[in-house]
Amino acid sequence: MSRIGKHFDQLKKEGRVGLVPFITAGDPNLPRTLELLEALAEAGADVIELGMPFSDPMADGPTIQAASERALKNYFGLPELFELVENFRKRHDTPLLLFGYYNPVFSFGEEKFVSEAQESGVDGILIVDLPPEEGEGLRGLARKAGLDVIYLTAPTTPDGRMAEIAAVASGFIYYVCVTGVTGERASVSTTIPRDVARIRKYSALPVAVGFGISTPEQAAAVAREADAVVVGSAIVRIVGEYGDSDEMVGKVREFVSALRRGIDER
């Protein structure tokens, strides 16, 4: 069983709900990203989503698009990302999930990508624009290397498609609770209970709910229904506002700690 699977099993035994924060690798720079990873782990993250910067992040809203642009201006790529993960692993065992798009993986080479991900200490991958029927090769390589392959579902996912995703997914199912791109919302969807229940008809994997969750109160509401809560844009916005400063890392730590408390006190 992967580190992600073991961690979710432990959460279930303890009756707790996971927190999955997202940041973009290389934003605002490599040293600060390492500090951010460590701050997330210490603030109570159960799995960390690490975004792979890409020039055309079509599933992301303006906040995360801007983060990718900042990272790419620093000439941050996959070799630097794997070095970052390796350095993080020297002190922390929090599961790490790479979130991104297929073009950088294809350019890097699937076998090399999976090999270096495994060697550096990555635990799973989520490639937004690589559907199950197109991802058999990468999925096979990942599973041989012990990496989970996470897939997205949405409110518009038909039952038949849900069954197809459930048959090949591992680690957890990522439920995108809104239609549209990433970004903060004023409220969370009222259909989350129904939609999570539908996913559980097809998969015994944990269900993590994300997209649009931006406050401790929203995280607590989602945690009453899901196995984990994913928060991205609200964290990335803080990184963008405070930039390359010690204050930025502290602000992110404070916000993620508040999310953790909200989930735990749900």
Q: Active-site residue numbers?
A: 49, 60
Could you give the CA distance from residue 190 to residue 238 in angstroms, rounded to a whole number? 27
Distances (CA, A) of 91 to 34, 75, 176, 254: 11, 26, 31, 21
Cα–Cα distance measured from residue 249 to residue 237, given in angstroms and rounded to the nearest whole number? 12
Residue 98 is classified by DSSP as E
Question: β-pairing, 124-127 with 151-153?
Answer: unpaired
Question: How would DSSP label each residue in 167-192?
Answer: HH--S-EEEE-SSS-S---SS--TTH
DSSP state of 132: G
